[in-house]
Amino acid sequence: MNMKIIEKEILNGALQKFRENTGLAVEIVEIEGRAVNAGHIHDAIIKIKWKDLDYFFAVEVKNIIARATLGGAIQKFHLFKEKGMLVARYITPQMADELKKMDIPFIDVTGNAYINEPPLMIFIKGNKPTDKYRLQQPARTFRPAGLQVIFALLCNPGLETAPLREIANKAAVALGTVGWVMYDLRRTNYLIELHPRNRRLIRKENLLNRWAAAYPEQLRRKKMLGRFRADKQDWQKYAQLKDIKGLWGGEFAANILTKYLKPQIYTIYAKLPIGRFLLKNKLKKDINGDIEILNIFWEFGPKQLNKELVPPLLIYADLLATGDARNIETARIIYERELTGLIGED
């Protein structure tokens, strides 16, 4: 079953449940359309009819919406002519409250919904999924090893034409992993291969967005070394990341790039063991700490001017993973400034 069939199943199921729960007429008026002045394709436009009023929404269909994937799901809503709506297989009560707070309309297959378009106001939460709608594992391309390969390909335009061994080295994965990832990318229409040295990555915008959505749950958690807290508030001014061959990511890196964000969390990606670094900077283990350290999962140097930062794609994904509205806005700035060049089609 391919992604398009799954998306249609989720959309149709959510619309049917919405009709049953609200008694309102709702229909799909367009399948796949481009946002005005942008290349992003929304999944559909739906129309909800209440009395003599028609409400139109441009929908993004997702399997599940979690805090870590929320940013990736909504970051293009500002491009749509119609108001954006999330349609999901299941939205938890906690996420329903979060979406309501952010005033983001949603419906799901279990009957949960939120719409705040006075005089039409709907908020339903707490319905739970049946066995039929339990979460599915993502395709293997978007599991940890596959995500490392895609990351290397997206950050290094043209790398897909290199020998598989070179790709494996840059992605820090086994050679055999690259073989099946390239096969899956061809099968899912992200890669054209005329012969082994004539490959071209296509649909890069879609691939980048899928990578950013899958990264928090599938790879980021596995690379987390821990959360910490410092004795001094200005510890970051004196931290020597070269001691761990480290790079800044997340909110701190975003602030360096954009000057738009006051960091609440300090994210470091490290290549070497961090024990001495923790002692030197007096960082103590704290599950609620404002410092997080993760393992570097790639083997290529920074392409940007500031060599102390992780690649912009990772900064972007780190910001989206927080689900914080201001971070999502900053991610949008980084996307426009730093990432559009990576996804330009040949």
177-224: pLDDT as tens digits: 999 999 999 999 999 988 767 899 999 988 998 899 889 989 999 999
* 3-state SS track over 218-276: HHHHHHEEEEEEECCCCHHHCCCHHHHCCEEEHHHHHHHHHCCCCCCCEEEEECCCCHH
Give residue-wise pLDDT tens across range 243-275: 999 999 999 999 999 998 899 999 999 999 999
User: Does CATH number 3.40.1350 belong to domain 3-133?
Assistant: yes
User: How confident is the model over 28-74, as pLDDT tens digits?
Assistant: 988 765 444 344 578 899 999 999 999 999 999 988 787 777 887 88
Q: Residue 58: which residues within 8 A CB-CB, separation 6 or more?
A: 33, 35, 42, 44, 45, 77, 80, 81, 82, 83, 84, 85
Report the pLDDT averaged over residues 146-159. Answer: 97
pTM for the whole thing?
Answer: 0.76
What token pair was written down for 206?
A: 């879609």
**Alpha carbons 73 and 119: distance in angstroms, whole number:** 27
pLDDT tens per residue, range 13-32: 999 999 999 999 999 988 76
Domain boundaries, the chain: 3-133, 140-204, 213-339
Q: What is the CATH number of domain 140-204?
A: 1.10.10
